[in-house]
Each structure stands twice: as structure tokens, then as C-alpha cells.
Structure 1
């Protein structure tokens, strides 16, 4: 009798949601206003079952972060010799914080969830401090004064990152006072992430079709650096994990799986239109990589 392997089909779910987002972009793009709430909810549930000590930065987190940003910064300065906008698009792919779903995906592939989640918190904290100052310096096309633009970015990041983390730890504290411990919500976080793909891709396609068509060569180059950044971060994860001394799956997911929704929102809201396609491309490319690694894990687990 024919049986559907739902566990295996789950690995292809991101591609299905990506396709829906691209094909139905005219329908989904107007509803992208809910993206900040989806991102905040993902972060809330990802942090809810993590005590402070489990996600506190460790020396290995800081070593990985320094290597990570050093590589992105070096590539930025090289590419800026050709085109600063394309260089900025690539650097934003490296600056993007680790995805809130990175811990859940690491857990699904039996990696070190604590390390991946800790890196997620660290990189979200980093963008909270860096984005208000760095984005206006990277993009000089804004008509707003530096401090006005920095303040707007700081408010957006605080609402999307700091607020859900604070609420999650407050809820956790109140539950512990009542003798209860919140359980993991990996499945809910995973489906929130999948649903966000529809709106992210819809908004990205709409954005590019409306504002990114002025220079086709630069548009293609921006998409291309999204692939370059994605391939580098996913493929460098395993060798760096061995060099630093951390678990391979956690390092790969922490480096490669990005909170592209937050970064794309920042690019669309505050930067030149040609910066955003690199992040939009990264969204698609990272989910091809995720689908590949998930199915590779499922094949290996089936054999064993």
C-alpha cells in the first residue's frame, strides 16, 4: 500500500512556501505589514524555553562572530572597489543575525541547539547596537539626517528584537514563580518561519519589480552576491566548527541560516533599492541549502 512519508515531505516544505510567495506575490505583498509581528513571535517562542545561562555568550561564540564579520567586512571592501551598493548588499547578508529558527532546525538535525540559539541571541543583540549607526554610514542615499535615521532603525529593531526577548524572559520568570517551566515550541516556530516566507518573498518580488529594474546588470549582480554570501556561510560552517571546536550542524546553521525577514525589512525601509535584492536572493538560496541539508539528514537517519 502507498504510504506518504510526511517526515521526508517536511524537508520540501520551504520550497513550497517559497514558490507560493513568488507566484502569488501580488496577493501576498500587501499583507507584508504583518511580517514584523511574525518575526517577533518567532523570536519570542524561540527564547521562551531558554534560560539566560543557556544562551549567554561563550568565548567560542565571540570567535565565530569575529571570523564571520571579518570575512564579510573583507569581501565588502574588495567589492566596494567595483560598486559600493553591491558591496553593501553582500555585507548585509553577513550582518544579518542568525535566524530565530536556526535553533529549531539544528534540533531537528540533532545538533547543538544551545550553541545555535546562543549565537542567535548574540547576533540579534549585535544588530540592535550596530544597525542604527552602521546602516546610515553604509548607505548615503537617504534624505534623512543621520540621527533621525538611526533613531528610526533603533525603534524598529527594539520593537522586533528587544521587546519579544524581554517579554519571553518575563513570562518564563513568572511561570517559574508558579513552579512551571515553559516547554519547547519548535514546531510552532518552524511553521511561523514557513508562513513568513510567503510574505517575505511576496514583498521582495514586489519591491524589485517596482524599484529595482533601473539597472538590470546591477540587479543581477545584487542577486548574485546573495548566492555568494549564502554558499560561503553554509559551506564554511563545517570547517570552522572543527577549527573552533563546536558541533558541526550548529555552526553551519548559525552561520548560514539568517533572519532575512528582519534584514530585508531594514533594507527596504532605510536603504537604496539595489541593496535589497541581495537579501531577497539569500532568502531563496538559503532555503535551497536548508532543503538539501534536511533531506541529507533524513536519508542518513533512514539508513541508520
Structure 2
């Protein structure tokens, strides 16, 4: 039974979060704390000296920025609202929790951490400019937007890394204890996932005056953008012998921040894109973890 729950933890978490959305949506304020502890367990395995920017990161951020503009232009000619929903899914920075899945898949956590920092800072600066070029009307000043995004992202990314470094260098007992719990971040992630899905379902259910045609089109376009980003990220990452980190860096998004940006700069309907993206990216993550488990089991049997 425990093996079944471990193997199917992410799909079960999504199902439980969706069915119990009224309860799990109330736990949304706990998400930052869950992400903080998840990242602490992940970063405890990373040395600060391993954190460096790479040529791969340059190409990924370029695709992220230029790709978001191209997607909007290509879709907006037919349906501007759908174009906005798809665009925000491409523009959104890498998720602070992407390092957790990257570590589980056997990718480079240090490379992913560096890109997460880079993409969040670059998007914080680029988003107001891109939205103004799109002609969206927002009274939010550039620096207000920039510092809000930094305030949302940086504590969750920087503080766990600093604390992990302090534990590594100053608290060997706690360091050894945390290393002895390699699955802690995974189980915390399942709880955070149930909360995220619950909040998404609650958001969709409680909308005022929903336009189901546009929302379905936005959700489908978010699925296409999600698959496209994982595919492109993996292929570019493969060129630099960093396939797993490349796919997660480009494909796994900070959807909470993306929903906020959509609501501030675009409109509530556009935020359906990143809201549905939560389901798509975690479905792909579940599939990847299933493949990794099957591969590891096959390797053990062959020995």
C-alpha cells in the first residue's frame, strides 16, 4: 500500500486537491511555508560553489521572452483574450519549486536554481515592458511591479539557500539528519500540489460571468504551450548535456506569480491560462517521475 501511494502520489494529490477544493483552497496561505521547507531539503544537497550561470540559461531566457511575444502575436490575430492567456504561460518565470522535481529526476539542482533566480529577475524587469508594448492598460508603475515580484519570489528562493548553506557549514548534526530524509521534499510537494490544485479549482468554480468558450480555448492553448516548453527545454538542455534541468527550467512555471501578473496587467479571463497550467505541468511531472521509477526498477532487476 505504501509503495502504491509513493508511486502515484502526484496524481492522487491532484485528485484529492480537486475533489476537496473547498478545504484545500483554505490552506493556500500555507503554500509559501511548504515551498520554503521543500527548497531547504533540496538545497541542503547543493554547494554554493556549484551555483553558476551557463550558456544554456541565456538561450532559455531568450526563448522565454521572445517566445511569449511570438505566441501572443500569432494567436491575438484571431482571439486576443486567448493570446493573452497563452502568452502569460510562456512568459512566466521558472517555479521556485522546480528544483525539487529536478532533483527527483536526477537533474542538476544547482543549474536549475541558478536559472530560477535569473528568470524571475529578468521577467520582473521585462514583464511591465512587454505588457506596455501589447497595449494593456495598467496603472501599476514599473518599479512597484518589479519590487512586488521580487518580494514574492526572492525570499522563497534566496532564504532557503542561505539557511541550507549555514546548516551545511555550521550545524553538521542537523545537516546529517536532513540528508537522511531524501524523500521529505517529495512528500511536502504532494501536500503543496493538493493545495495548488484546490486553489485552482476554487478559482475556476467561483468565477463571475465565466466565458466557457474562451476559457476552454485558453486551457487548451496552455496545454500546447506547456508541452512545447518541456520539449524545447529538454532538447536545448540535451545539447548542453543538461536535458532534465533544461526541460524543468523552461516547462515548470511559477503559476501563482503568473496568475497575479495576468490579473494585474491583462484580466481575470487570461489568468485561466496559468491556472490550468498548474494541472498540465504537474501531469507531465507525474509522467516523468513514473518513467524514472520504471527505469530505476528495470536497472535493479538487470543487476
Give the TM interval when normalised to the shorter protein: 0.7 to 0.9
Partner of 1:27: 23
Q: For residues 293 and 119 of structure 1, what CA distance do their matches in structure 2 show?
A: 20
Q: Which residue does 2:101 correspond to in 1?
A: 105
Once the two structures are superposed, residues 205-232 of structure 1 have per-residue CA deviations (whole angstroms, 9 ceiling, x without a partner) of 2222232643211111111111011111
Q: Does the 8 Å contact 1:17/1:194 carry over to 2? A: yes
Segments of structure 1 that go 5 or more residues without pairing to the other structure are: none
2:257 maps to 262
Counterpart of 1:160 in structure 2 is 152
Kept after mapping to 2: 8 A contact 1:133/1:150: no
Say how many residue pairs are matched: 295
| Structure 2 equivalent of residue 16 of structure 1 | 12
Match of 2:8, SS?
helix
Q: Distance between the aligned counterparts of 1:81 and 1:137, measured in 2?
A: 15
Quote the Cα distance in structure 1 between the aligned partners of 2:128 and 2:67. Answer: 22
* Residue 73 (1) aligns with residue 73 (2): no
Contact 2:262 2:271 in 1 (8 A): yes
Aligned-pair CA distance for 1:135: 5.2
The 1:267–1:196 alpha-carbon spacing in structure 2 relative to 1, beyond 3 Å, is: farther
Q: 1:55 aligns with which of 44, 51, 54?
A: 51
RMSD: 3.0
CA distance in 1, matches of 2:257, 2:271: 12
TM-score (ref. length: structure 2):
0.82
Equivalents in 2 of 1:274, 1:215: separation in Å?
Answer: 8
Say whether the 8 Å CA contact 1:222–1:277 is kept in structure 2. Answer: yes
What does residue 82 of structure 2 align with?
Answer: 86
Please give the alpha-carbon distance, in whole angstroms, between the structure 1 residues aligned to 2:265 and 2:65.
Answer: 21
Partner of 2:297: 302
Q: 1:194 and 1:99 mapped to 2: Cα distance?
A: 15
Mark the CA change 1:173 to 1:93 in structure 2 (over 3 Å): closer, same or farther: same
Q: Given the superposition, is the C-alpha separation of residues 21 and 300 from structure 1 closer, same or farther in structure 2, using an over 3 Å criterion?
A: same
Q: Is 1:238–1:248's contact at 8 Å kept on the other side of the alignment? A: yes
* Contact 1:25–1:205 (Cα < 8 Å) also in 2: yes
Q: Is this contact kept in 2: 1:136–1:146, CA < 8 A? A: no
- CA deviations over 1:107-142 (Å, ceiling 9, x no partner): 222223322222222222223333455556658355
Partner residue, 1:221 = 217
Describe the SS at the equivalent of 2:183: helix
- CA drift of 1:271 comes to 4.3
Q: Work out whether residues 124 and 150 of structure 2, in 8 Å CA contact, stay in contact via their aligned partners in 1.
A: yes
Greater shift, 69-78 or 258-267, is seen at 258-267
Give the direction of change, closer, same or farther, for the CA distance of 1:21–1:155 in structure 2 (3 Å limit).
Answer: farther
Match of 2:195 in 1: 199
Structure 1 residues 43, 108: closer, same or farther in 2, change over 3 A?
closer
Q: Distance in 2 between matches of 1:39 and 1:136?
A: 31
1:286 alignment counterpart: 281
